[in-house]
Chains A and B, each alone.
Chain A
Amino acid sequence: MSTHSLLHIQHLSTYFDTDEGTVKAVDDISLHVRPGEIVCIVGESGCGKSITALSVMGLIEAPTGRIADGIIDFDGQNLLSLSKNHLRSIRGNDIAMIFQEPMSSLNPVITIGEQMSEPLIIHKKMNKKQAQKRVLELITQVGISRPEQIAKSYPHELSGGMLQRIMIAIAISCDPKLLIADEPTTALDVTIQAQILDMLREFRSQSDMSILLITHDLGVVAEMADYVVVMYSGKIVEEGEVVELFANPRHPYTQGLLRSKPIINQRQKELYSIPGYVPNPLELQESCYFHERCEHCMDICRTQEPPLRDVENGQKTACWLYEKEAAVHV
């Protein structure tokens, strides 16, 4: 794996202005995706993982949403400083995205085949014939038999699993360097999820495509990720290489998440559960945002935000427990 990064997000902050105040949905986060790497952003709803993906895609919509600060460096270009047209040509061509609900990203009154050939004609400059031929290849590639019949059908005639395959086929049709997948299997059954995940891994190994996978499911993370980023309340609380992070989670939130998930064939009498609820994003004060739910909460956690620092083996965490200077304060 090469060391330079394909996608380098630096100090990204995405805010939403609501009636009640400004929500820092993504608050000063930085992350790398290297070529051919699968990076997973994991977190619960409202932690900012999807907003990060939408920020990269340039899909944050004014007037409520705005990217307040940061650089999104993709292949040497800052996406945030590009013109709309330039960004559009990168989107769909070099960066593709798939969503949780495939149904809502497809036009219900246009056939699958037409919707698939559109980006080929626009981005790959194919003519109609070539595009149609490529569509059939793509449909076969995502493991669907009878491609001709599928190409002629409308979205509502296909199941959720089939549609997600079609979305993947559209996404890979322009050989993107980066695929952003936002909860791609959350709405699917486990047996279908297994098929889709297998397929994504296979495409990665064939084409050296990078994947930024956003999910709440730690099982999916363990199966897919090379590198994991854990988010909580708009911040990165921990990140690291997957095996290391699962074996030695440092941040109490990561530890709690891992312990609270029931695992097949490892039944315990009582599940561990993180007490309390996610804090209100409007009421956040300078502090560790997890302190109200943390069993190791110290005085400093209530008043100061912990920085994200290297702990060991490239693993980083934002927790006062691992800060030497904090130990002095206790």
Chain B
Amino acid sequence: MPSIQAEVTNVATNRPQAVKSSLWRQSIRKLLKNKLAVGGFAVVVFMFLLCFVGPLFSPYTDNKVNMTMMNKAPNIHHWLGTDKLGRDVLTRVMQAGRISLTVGIASMVLSVFIGTLLGAIAGYYRGIVDQVIMRIADLLLTIPSLPLLFIFGALLSEWKVPTDYRMYIVMLILSLVGWPSLARMVRGQLLSLREREFMQATIVLGLRDRRKLVNHLLPNLVPLLIVIATLNIGGAILSESVLSFFGLGVMPPTPTWGNMIDAANNMIDFQERPWLWVPPGFSIFATVIAINIFGDGLRDVLDPKQKR
């Protein structure tokens, strides 16, 4: 009975001593009640700490090739074993995580920025501007993203882009693929907000455009953005892994989770040396699942549509 719930909270505070409560604080309280989401968040935090703080405690960060230690199974010195060049797998997983997570977050930030900006412009000004932006977005959405990524990746190799730059270009490519669906969502949300009665009230009150936008439209857009952004990180990490796995993204020796799983390409490594590909594979799996669970939890708490 959602109505009961609503009524309870509606008449909740006729008491003067009730503390100043904010919607954000309430949302956080609700989020904390969602055990699964909290668990997801904990895993994400753990992965971050592991990847960004963990390497500081590793004696193998120099990635020196060590012919005597090739393809060793996990042991007391190398907890997750060593790879075919004798490098410590655990250290490389942590270093790879830095890159994978950075690429994920950076391309998310970029695509959210582009998507929000274009979606907001389309939704707010409508007319021709809207048509142009949304048709471009539609066009991008009709191109299957995986082949597109392959083509970009192949071009990068063709143009001999230095390895250090490839990471940044991969980010750019990922956000370029990511923004259209986001812009579409932002635009839709904006259009539905425009029709809401409280936006009509801002017209009746004669508020200035700036205030309508900054104080009324944006705050109602932020929860949606947070949810999408969170879920996007997972997607970006996956896409980066796929690209790198096929050798089209970040290139070795710079490790990423994707190019580390490349080891599974080799039948012997796949069957005999699971320590080469299981750790990066599990890292991707755990991180993406955790981010998605956390994102779903956030959506339950923040998305206004779910409340109604």
What residues of chain A have their CB less than 8 Å away from a CB belonging to chain B? 16, 18-20, 23, 25, 45-46, 51, 60-61, 64-65, 277-282
Let me know if B268 is at the binding interface, CB within 8 A.
no
Give the chain A neighbours of B13 by CB distance below 8 A.
280
**11 additional contacts, CB 8 Å, given A64-B1, A281-B8?**
A18-B5, A18-B8, A19-B30, A25-B1, A45-B7, A46-B7, A61-B1, A64-B5, A280-B8, A280-B14, A282-B12
Q: List 9 A-B contacts (CB under 8 A).
A: A16-B1, A19-B30, A46-B4, A51-B4, A64-B5, A65-B1, A65-B4, A280-B14, A282-B12
Give the chain A neighbours of B11 by CB distance below 8 A.
46, 277-281
Q: How far is the CA of A60 from the CA of B9 in the complex (A)?
A: 20
Give the chain A neighbours of B14 by CB distance below 8 A.
277, 280
Let me know if B33 is at the binding interface, CB within 8 A.
yes
Q: How far is the CA of A112 from the CA of B161 in the complex (A)?
A: 66
Nearest CB in chain A to that of B30: its residue: A19
Give the chain B neighbours of A60 by CB distance below 8 A.
1
Interface flags for B1-39 (1: CB within 8 Å of A; 0: not) read 100110111011110000000000000001001000000
- Other-chain contact of B8, A45, A65, A277, A282 (Cβ < 8 Å): A282
Q: How far is the CA of A16 from the CA of B13 in the complex (A)?
A: 19
Max chain A Cβ within 10 angstroms of own Cβ: one of B1, B5, B33: B1
B300 CB to nearest A CB, Å: 13
Q: B1 contacts A19, CB within 8 Å?
A: no
Q: How far is the CA of A16 from the CA of B2 in the complex (A)?
A: 10
Q: B8 contacts A20, CB within 8 Å?
A: yes
Q: How far is the CA of A312 from the CA of B147 in the complex (A)?
A: 84
Q: How far is the CA of A278 from the CA of B14 in the complex (A)?
A: 10
What residues of chain B have their CB less than 8 Å away from a CB belonging to chain A? 1, 4-5, 7-9, 11-14, 30, 33
Give the chain B neighbours of A51 by CB distance below 8 A.
1, 4
Tell me what chain A mostly uses at the interface: helix, strand, loop, or mixed. loop
Q: How far is the CA of A299 from the CA of B11 in the complex (A)?
A: 25
Give the chain B neighbours of A61 by CB distance below 8 A.
1
A44 CB to nearest B CB, Å: 11
B301 CB to nearest A CB, Å: 12
Give the chain B neighbours of A279 by CB distance below 8 A.
11
Give the chain A neighbours of B7 by CB distance below 8 A.
45-46, 281
Q: B4 contacts A20, CB within 8 Å?
A: no
A235 CB to nearest B CB, Å: 16
Max chain A Cβ within 10 angstroms of own Cβ: one of B8, B9, B14: B8
A29 CB to nearest B CB, Å: 16
Q: How far is the CA of A310 from the CA of B54 in the complex (A)?
A: 77
B230 CB to nearest A CB, Å: 23
Nearest CB in chain A to that of B9: its residue: A20
- Other-chain contact of B12, A16, A20, A45, A46 (Cβ < 8 Å): A20
A209 CB to nearest B CB, Å: 28
Give the chain A neighbours of B30 by CB distance below 8 A.
19
Nearest CB in chain A to that of B33: its residue: A19
Q: B12 contacts A18, CB within 8 Å?
A: no
Q: How far is the CA of A19 from the CA of B9 in the complex (A)?
A: 10
A100 CB to nearest B CB, Å: 11
Q: How far is the CA of A237 from the CA of B184 in the complex (A)?
A: 54
Nearest CB in chain A to that of B5: its residue: A18
Nearest CB in chain B to that of A25: its residue: B4
Q: B4 contacts A16, CB within 8 Å?
A: yes
B21 CB to nearest A CB, Å: 13
Give the chain B neighbours of A64 by CB distance below 8 A.
1, 4-5
Q: How far is the CA of A277 from the CA of B33 in the complex (A)?
A: 30
B15 CB to nearest A CB, Å: 9
Give the chain B neighbours of A23 by CB distance below 8 A.
4, 8
User: 6 smallest A-B Cβ distances: which pairs?
Assistant: A46-B7, A280-B11, A16-B4, A18-B8, A18-B5, A280-B12
Give the chain A neighbours of B5 by CB distance below 8 A.
16, 18, 64
Give the chain A neighbours of B12 by CB distance below 8 A.
20, 280, 282
B34 CB to nearest A CB, Å: 11
Give the chain B neighbours of A277 by CB distance below 8 A.
11, 14
Give the chain A neighbours of B4 by CB distance below 8 A.
16, 18, 23, 25, 46, 51, 64-65
B30 CB to nearest A CB, Å: 8
Q: How far is the CA of A179 from the CA of B1 in the complex (A)?
A: 22
Q: How far is the CA of A213 from the CA of B12 in the complex (A)?
A: 29
Nearest CB in chain B to that of A64: its residue: B1
B7 CB to nearest A CB, Å: 5
Q: How far is the CA of A20 from the CA of B8 in the complex (A)?
A: 9
B233 CB to nearest A CB, Å: 29
Q: How far is the CA of A65 from the CA of B7 in the complex (A)?
A: 15
Max chain B Cβ within 10 angstroms of own Cβ: one of A16, A20, A280: A280
Q: How far is the CA of A157 from the CA of B7 in the complex (A)?
A: 33
A162 CB to nearest B CB, Å: 26
